[in-house]
Amino acid sequence: MDPQIEIAPPELVGWAGRPILMDTAHQHDDLEINFVAEGGTMLYLFGGEPVEIGPGSVAAFWAAVPHQLVANSATRVHWVHVPFATFLGWGLPTGLVGRLLSGLPLIAPPTAVMASDPANFTQWAADLASAHPERRRILLLEVEARVRRLALDAPQEPVRQYAGGDPALRHVVTMVRHIAEHFREPLTVADVAAAARLHPNYAMTHFAKIVRTTIIDYLTRCRLAEGRRLLVTTDLSIAAVAADSGFSSVSRFYAAFKSECGLPPAAYRRQHR
């Protein structure tokens, strides 16, 4: 299964293989778990930040946050997607749920790598390929336990430095970080380009080459991700969610949300609460 495929509707799925660089950032409403089984490092742009997942590491994140694999030297990775409703039903500690819903991934440091991870992820793939209900129940219990342990082992803040040698990628990392920090404010292409000290035309060329979309489209996706988070985690009115997510009007929020998510904001809130 291609990791670039959008999962809709969310379902419990898993697969393994060599990662493929993503043509664009994508989102899907589930908890995504990555395990780098062989090879080097995966570099994601995750909610506007560079996030590196190294050899042997396990990472978990809420995949409704726009994420894109832009550099990779891993040769084999396992992926597991747990439906959002299932994840919320685990009754995880409030702090852990809040961290994930705020867009911070959980990443196990090298010191917390578990020797059992290769065998476990391989077994989970086999269980997911089975139609046996009991195997799937066992799988979910084991995945939940792994996420709980990951929460204990992961640093409070993910490592977000990128020291790669590609100048274009470094410029793009600067721009997406600026978007992540300022998407709630009025923001123009010129503002984003200035953060990387680039001419807007040059900035747009770099951005399109690496992220495979425009700066404005990426900015809209970040705002929509925040809107989804606020709809699920707060009782704010739709108008307040639109404003707090950076949209200039409720009508723009409705139009972008319906286009991206396939249903209006209020229906999305009812579905996930």
Identify the band that residue 156 occupies on the pLDDT scale cut at 50, 70 and 90. low
Tokens matching residue 161: 């430095």
Residues 6+ apart with CB under 8 A from 154: 106, 107, 108, 109, 112
The domain ranges of the chain are 13-153, 167-272
Identify the band that residue 110 occupies on the pLDDT scale cut at 50, 70 and 90. confident
Smallest CA-to-CA distance from 123 within 143, 101, 96 is with: 143
Q: Collapsing DSSP states into helix, strand and coil, what is residue 12?
A: coil
Q: What span, in angstroms and rounded, lies between the C-alpha atoms of 6 and 28?
A: 6
pLDDT of residue 6: 42
| pLDDT value at 9 more than 60 | no
Same fold, 13-153 and 167-272: no
Smallest CA-to-CA distance from 224 within 253, 249, 250 is with: 253
Tokens matching residue 50: 């560079």
Smallest CA-to-CA distance from 182 within 245, 100, 98, 228 is with: 245
Tokens matching residue 154: 């992961």
Tokens matching residue 18: 């060599």
- What b-and-e string marks burial along 8-40, b requiring 16 or more CB atoms within 10 Å of the CB? eebebbbebeebeebeebbbbbbbbbbbbbeee
Amino acid at site 161: Q
Q: What confidence tens digit (pLDDT) does each residue in 174-221 have?
A: 887 788 788 999 999 999 999 999 999 999 998 888 777 789 988 898
Pairing status of strand 67-83 against strand 49-53:
unpaired
Assigned superfamily of 167-272: Homeodomain-like (1.10.10.60)
Q: What confidence tens digit (pLDDT) does each residue in 59-107 have?
A: 999 887 778 898 899 999 999 999 877 887 788 887 787 778 767 788 8
| pLDDT value at 260 more than 90 | no
- CB atoms near residue 187 (< 10 Å): 20
pLDDT of residue 184: 92
Given CATH 3.40.50.2300, say whether it is the number of domain 13-153.
no
Q: What span, in angstroms and rounded, lies between the C-alpha atoms of 129 and 135?
A: 10
Q: What span, in angstroms and rounded, lies between the C-alpha atoms of 159 and 109?
A: 9
| Torsion sign across C-alpha atoms 114, 65, 222, 102 | negative
Pairing status of strand 67-83 against strand 106-107:
unpaired
Q: What confidence tens digit (pLDDT) does each residue in 137-150 have?
A: 999 999 999 999 99
pLDDT of residue 101: 72
| pLDDT value at 18 more than 70 | yes
Q: Collapsing DSSP states into helix, strand and coil, what is residue 255?
A: helix
